[in-house]
Chain A
């Protein structure tokens, strides 16, 4: 089996934005400017906790792994974070896909 190629950050961002566009397609969220690295999942896209769960599943499916430690992105000092910015998500994936 050939080694899996590690996507670069630009490719990860492209994939994440595509997933977010697909997820939010029916949401009727009034968010101008399109989804970018600066977009905030909660404040801009209207994410709720259940949507984060769906996003995690979609990302795991897209990147073909279930070993990403999403708690490190979604929790801070034992508490769930209130917001996730797309660029943080891309950084997280970039760091951990390398070792997944």
Chain B
């Protein structure tokens, strides 16, 4: 297989990267972009990390792969019962097992929804995993000990910090901004060192990593990064914060340069983001609005006893919505889905909207949402309201919200019980926009090609074509015309392959799991001898 790199930059957008390439902060990226192809990369409908990365690495849309949010939830015992999405919730085959089945090897670092890790030929260190569970979630088992031998390796500094990430939603106190950014610089270096070690120890056909500090910095530091938001006379603190943000991107550029150099001149490089980014200026409190229209009733916390109050306070802090279910017909569950769930009474005695009335109810709610106006500008607050089947067509859309909203500034709607319904944010913040980035370079990539806009679903076909793996016929994206030059296209025409396998049957044999690195090498040698892998 042709060696291929996927360098993921979570939330990267050209509106930030282009100025940084021009002003010399990211010289390597500038050089790579100039010598390769570029495109805007359109994310999933709700441009959110889990569904978007899963779409990129399966080539399937959320309605098919079944991941719509960080968590999934069901109503149980009169409460919303949450659990995190895991790899087992992805209902489509990923490129990791596709490449493994085609006798290739993979190395995938920091991708979300990759735990518990699948059994593949290669190494997986998943993202979105606390340091407390990192050892157990690395494939193959035993590889963690190899990582521990890396000088300076610190799982606490590298793995997902749930408390810190919660701050991105609730707001990082300004006096902790510098600490937050510095933490992410150190964190990216940890991932880089792990990747560098693995690339030297066991070079893979497909090497992929996500640097997610881009997203974190842009959430809190948009106003320091976006030239359009820059204050005319920045304070000393603002100047320092901007310098720190630029330092993050400068170091990131260095990591990218070293990774590409390590992969060698024959490697093909793809840089992609799961979604773009842009400014958000207003808070829209969706559940407060639903309450004002009679769709939702908050639970009265004051009637609870002291012990219950403590529990309720903790739940509210963890972003749970506490509702009187028998007086609620529609509500938003999470701060990240921009989705409304409608409570349907399917059986006698259940509360909610009668099943027969569901279409009319949903249409009416949708129309009311569309009519909400900004109190100052008078413009619609909501760009679009999409029913489940239109937002996420596919057999796995049962977990998707009944209605998905696109807000006017692409912000995420608040679900908390606060007033007013719409108000300006204290400062401009960054939020997820649909338009991410795609860059490609290396042998056979057309130099200087501007491919316009691609879909996030096109990335997997591009990677497979680069590797020389037939693109399964059920992948929804395609290899864009004009990405590869005439010589490459003639030598290796696009080849469509048989459909992907169901996740339960994909992957390499179980013998490769739960082994030490040395044991795994032995298994690989045996598999090679049997002709299963090269």
Do residues B77 and A78 form an inter-chain contact, with CB atoms below 8 A?
yes
A82 and B311 in contact (CB under 8 A), knowing A26-B132, A66-B88, A75-B77?
A: yes
Known A25-B135, A26-B155, A61-B116; contact A75-B308, beta-carbon cutoff 8 A: no
In chain A, positions 61-91 with a C-beta closer than 8 Å to chain B are 61, 66, 71, 74-75, 77-80, 82
Nearest CB in chain A: distance from B240 CB, A: 33
Known contacts A75-B76, A75-B79; A80 and B133 CB within 8 A of each other: no
Closest A residue to B162 using CB positions: A50
Taking CB atoms and an 8 Å cut-off, the chain B residues in 80-94 that contact chain A are 81, 83-84, 86, 88
Q: B315 contacts the other chain (Cβ, under 8 Å)?
A: yes
Task: Determine if A57 is an interface residue (Cβ-Cβ < 8 Å).
Answer: yes
Is residue B131 contacting chain A, with contact meaning CB distance below 8 A? yes
Whether B116 contacts A75 by the Cβ 8 Å rule is no
**A26-B116 contact in complex given A75-B81, A78-B79, C-beta closer than 8 Å:** no
A54 near B79 (CB under 8 angstroms)? no
Chain B: CB-nearest residue to A61: B116
For chain A, give the interface size range. 20 to 34
Q: Which residue of chain A lies nearest to B129 when distances are taken between CB atoms in the complex?
A: A54
Which of A50, A66, A75, A82 contacts B130, CB < 8 Å? A50
Residue of A nearest to B89 (CB): A66
> How far, in whole Å, are A61 and B137 apart by their CA atoms in the complex?
12
Residue of B nearest to A81 (CB): B311
Q: Which residue of B lies closest to A58 (CB)?
A: B136
CB A25 to nearest CB in B, in angstroms, measures: 7
User: Are B132 and A77 closer than 8 Å at their CB atoms?
Assistant: no
- A79: contacting residue among B116, B132, B308, B318, CB under 8 A: B308
Complex Cα gap A54–B130 (Å): 10
Q: Is B78 in contact with A56, judged by CB distance below 8 angstroms? A: no
A54 and B133 in contact, given A80-B315, A82-B311 (Cβ under 8 angstroms):
yes
Q: Are B318 and A49 in contact (CB under 8 A)?
A: yes
| B residues in contact with A56, CB < 8 Å | 83
Give chain B's interface residue range (CB within 8 Å of chain A).
20 to 34
Interface of A is mostly: helix
Give Cα distance in the complex from A41 to B291, angstroms.
38
Do residues B83 and A77 form an inter-chain contact, with CB atoms below 8 A? no
Report yes or no: A53 in contact with B155, Cβ–Cβ below 8 A.
no
In the complex where A53-B83, A53-B84, A79-B308 touch, is A23 in contact with B76 (Cβ < 8 A)?
A: no
Chain A CB within 10 Å — which of B77, B84, B135 has the most?
B77
B311→A27 contact, CB < 8 A: no
Chain B's closest residue to A25 (CB) is B135
CB distance from A73 to the nearest CB of B (A): 11
The reply on A8 being an interface residue by CB < 8 A is: no
Interface string of B47-88 (1 = CB under 8 A from A): 000000000000000000000000000001111010110101
Q: Does A51 touch B at the CB level, under 8 Å?
A: yes
- Which residues of A are found within 8 Å of B135, using beta-carbon distances? 25-26
Residue of chain B at shortest CB distance from A27: B132
Cα–Cα, bound, A26→B153 (Å):
14
8 Å CB contacts to A: which residues of B10-53?
none
A29 → chain B, closest Cβ, in Å?
Answer: 10
Cβ of A35 to closest chain B Cβ, rounded Å: 16
Complex alpha-carbon distance, A57 and B126, angstroms: 15
Q: Which residues of B contact A23 (CB under 8 A)?
A: 132-133, 136
Name the B residues within 8 Å of A75 (CB-CB).
76-77, 79, 81
Docked complex Cα distance between A25 and B134 (Å): 11
Chain B contacts of A50 at CB under 8 A? 84, 130, 132, 162
Q: Determine whether the beta carbon of B116 is less than 8 Å from that of A57.
A: yes
Tell me the complex Cα distance, A51–B88, Å: 17
A22, B116: Cα distance in complex, Å: 14
A54→B315 CA distance, assembly (Å): 19
Residues of B within 8 A of A25 (CB): 135
Residue numbers in B under 8 Å from A26 (CB-CB): 131-132, 134-135, 155
* B78 with A80: CB separation less than 8 A: no
Given contacts A54-B132, A61-B116, A79-B311, 10 further A-B contacts (CB under 8 A): A26-B131, A26-B134, A26-B155, A50-B132, A51-B130, A56-B83, A74-B81, A75-B79, A78-B78, A79-B79
The 10 closest A-B pairs by CB, nearest first: A78-B78, A71-B76, A78-B79, A71-B81, A54-B133, A78-B77, A75-B77, A53-B84, A79-B311, A50-B162
A-B CB contact pairs (8 Å), 14 listed: A26-B132, A27-B132, A49-B318, A51-B133, A53-B83, A54-B133, A57-B88, A57-B116, A66-B88, A74-B81, A77-B77, A77-B78, A79-B79, A79-B308
